[in-house]
Structure 1
């Protein structure tokens, strides 16, 4: 479990399991939480509010601790390929989930109730939420304790935006949540189009149906701009590729061009200004790959 603040992230693996939360349990203790769970393997089903949801591994399921529910999870049995695999441990399922207080979601609970026990495909904001949860639960060591507050805010904004998108209530969200959701979409767009030579503030704004001025306003008060962000990420991808021994046969400028930096002199100047050495020297400083075994 990763405690971010008001939100909790959980990654767990389990054999076949069936659970039920009854009215009596709720009367005894109700933390009044919402849970969004994303099964990564196996088959799952949830019953709540007289609705039954069969969940695929490409879908979130959504439940409330304040209402009775039943859920079942079954690992998918793969056909053994060898005698050793047939004698191996029984299969397990894996799920990641995030729990947040119901009071932290700035949407009417009467509306949110409509999503209980319904599959939420990992598209749009749900796709960004899935990537966010996977990144933190898979590599918690990459984050510092001081990052918790910022990550907590991001989790709440992504969850709120995901639910609002499925309810067609995005305009009902607070302005700051809408802005954070828009930034998350823009961030994902930049990642997907880093290799596009034409990627710029203008093309990003056009793709998201906003003005360039509005786009730059999203980064007001920070030490970076959209243009700086694109440049830094492109240079970082080039740096990683120059470290990769599997790409040693590729020319430096072919690597730069793959990440949208097509001007040789401009790339060399930016790389040296950022990393203190030329791309050629940086590549030469990397340790030689070990012998093949």
Structure 2
């Protein structure tokens, strides 16, 4: 077995190449892939240790086959503890937290640096800052793998050799949450800062240098199968390697959506994840259509779903404005009020109803919050766009079945858990 540079891989290294989607399990040896036994290092190993290593490899590979995932990993065998923890990481496919606290100090660099190699688009990683600060958290949104990373600074490289070994036919979106990066990809050299994103192609090599500055760097990475995007590759090649994020309202909404998913996505149910896959794919498709000036490639239903997302995001961001109404929302998303009402009707609501419900829900939350006790009921209502006390009291009683002051008294008298 050879490394990217052409040298031989030593006996103290297990390296399995990613291969086309196919069943890993064989009918013999309890469903253990053929490469597992040959991957166990021979030198300096007792029979017992080799047996335990084989069992760990079987466990990893059997889990991976059942999950229907490709295996691409390079794990130093200097201590089987690294492999044992990696096996646990593999098993928790739905929601995985891979923190440096899981490793003894001596294993930290080797353990975390191998983790990104387990993603769909393999890469080489080397830390250049504080190697004790690193966390990798990953979960799938249907067919879209999503990862949230935290580290001090690092270099990441996808070499031509890695591209030849494994090209899963995907586009990746690197989201800089709190970081500065220099990204060289597709004959472009771009600087990426917080609030921006960059699209990359798994079929092309890249070099990235990411620095968190005085604080930790945070990033979110989403990977999309190429078949999910409604564009030809020759069209998308125009934006691969370009910085996204500030060109349009849809790009900004996509950025916020992915950051929120990176923080909270691990708590979603499997059904929610499938739905979120559709949402994030719609947002990316619409954002790219705007960049490419190819709106005709995106289905009409996708445009309407994204318009609904844009409208509801605008409403939530401006609930405190007393003048917020359907006409203001329609102007913000650049459609007529009639079209906007038709879009909301597809979601079994109306624009005015959605605004009222969101306001009342925010007010109810604030009324139940102990540290806001110094604010009067009507002061809280005014914060969320209800400057007139009688109209607010009427709407609150109609929706929740009791006056706002009574609700607040009841919530504050309940024992805090």
- Tell me, yes or no, if the aligned pair for 2:172 and 2:201 is still in contact at 8 Å: yes
Give the structure 1 partner of residue 186 of structure 2.
49
- Tell me, yes or no, if the aligned pair for 2:139 and 2:266 is still in contact at 8 Å: no
Give the structure 2 partner of residue 110 of structure 1.
234
Structure 1 residues 95 and 209, CA gap change in structure 2 (3 angstroms): closer
The answer to whether residue 164 in structure 2 is matched with residue 64 in structure 1 is no
Give the structure 2 partner of residue 285 of structure 1.
410
Where does the alignment leave 5 or more consecutive residues of structure 1 unmatched? 79-90
Where 1:218 maps in the other structure, the secondary structure is helix
259, 265, 283: which is aligned to 1:158?
A: 283
More deviation, 181-190/160-169: 160-169
Give the structure 2 partner of residue 230 of structure 1.
355
Q: Quick one: distance in 2 between partners of 1:73 and 1:221?
A: 43
Q: Quick one: distance in 2 between partners of 1:180 and 1:119?
A: 24
105, 121, 124: which is aligned to 2:245?
A: 121
Give the structure 1 partner of residue 221 of structure 2.
97
Structure 1 residues 206 and 71, CA gap change in structure 2 (3 angstroms): closer
Give the TM-score of the pair, scaled to structure 1: 0.86
Deviation at 1:198, TM superposition (A): 2.1
Give the structure 2 partner of residue 149 of structure 1.
274
Give the structure 2 partner of residue 39 of structure 1.
176
Q: Quick one: distance in 2 between partners of 1:249 and 1:141?
A: 36
Q: Within 5 Å, give how 1:1-293 maps onto structure 2.
A: 1-76=138-213, 78=214, 92-122=216-246, 123-140=248-265, 143-287=268-412
Structure 1 residues 198 and 41, CA gap change in structure 2 (3 angstroms): closer
Structure 1 residues 58 and 209, CA gap change in structure 2 (3 angstroms): closer
Q: Quick one: distance in 2 between partners of 1:208 and 1:66?
A: 36
Q: Quick one: distance in 2 between partners of 1:148 and 1:121?
A: 23
Give the structure 2 partner of residue 88 of structure 1.
none
Bigger Rg over Cα: 2
Q: Quick one: distance in 2 between partners of 1:125 and 1:222?
A: 20
- Tell me, yes or no, if the aligned pair for 2:181 and 2:210 is still in contact at 8 Å: yes
RMSD: 2.2
Q: Quick one: distance in 2 between partners of 1:172 and 1:228?
A: 33
Where does the alignment leave 5 or more consecutive residues of structure 2 unmatched? 1-137
- Tell me, yes or no, if the aligned pair for 1:245 and 1:289 is still in contact at 8 Å: no
Deviation at 1:148, TM superposition (A): 1.6
Deviation at 1:103, TM superposition (A): 1.4
Q: Quick one: distance in 1 between partners of 2:414 and 2:194?
A: 37
- Tell me, yes or no, if the aligned pair for 2:254 and 2:280 is still in contact at 8 Å: yes
Q: Quick one: distance in 1 between partners of 2:388 and 2:212?
A: 51
Q: Quick one: distance in 2 between partners of 1:190 and 1:28?
A: 47
Give the TM-score of the pair, scaled to structure 2: 0.62
